[in-house]
């Protein structure tokens, strides 16, 4: 791939990422309006749509606290993992 083609693809990628971020912000703004309109209701219907905004309780493992309390056990179960991170930045 030539530098010119690569630069074109990178520009296209950056433009699309900006559009997605803008659309996500718009989506969140509309979601906030819907939540405000719902008030304390967990479910509302309007036309063909049903909106639900319910509290969900979940349990999550606190790895940091476990590591502090049980350092040897934590290190015995840790394994290295290699990942590749893709990032595009403009100069």
Is position 12 within any domain?
A: yes
The answer as to whether 31 is a domain residue is yes
Whether 68 is covered by a domain: the verdict is no
Mean pLDDT of the region 68-80: 96
Q: Per-residue confidence at 90, pLDDT binned at 50, 70, 90? A: confident
- C-alpha separations of 38 from 5, 20, 26, 52, 91 in Å: 49, 27, 19, 9, 44
Look at residue 88 and tell me if it is in a domain: no
Domain assignment present for residue 79? The answer is: no
Give domain status of residue 35, yes or no.
yes
pLDDT at residue 5 in the model: 97
pLDDT tier, 91 (very low <50, low <70, confident <90, very high otherwise): confident
CA 70 to chain centre: 30
Percentage of residues in the chain having pLDDT higher than 90 = 97
> Domain tally for the chain?
1
Q: Which residue segment(s) compose the domain that 7 sits in?
A: 3-57
């Amino acid at each position: 791939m030539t530098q010119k083609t690569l630069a074109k693809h990178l520009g296209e990628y950056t433009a699309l990422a900006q559009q997605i971020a803008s659309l996500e912000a718009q989506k969140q703004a509309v979601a906030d309006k819907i939540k405000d309109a719902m008030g304390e209701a967990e479910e509302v219907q309007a036309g063909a749509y049903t909106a639900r905004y319910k509290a969900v309780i979940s349990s999550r493992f606190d790895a940091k606290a476990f590591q502090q309390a049980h350092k040897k056990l934590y290190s015995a179960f840790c394994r290295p993992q290699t990942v590749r991170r893709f990032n595009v930045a403009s100069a």
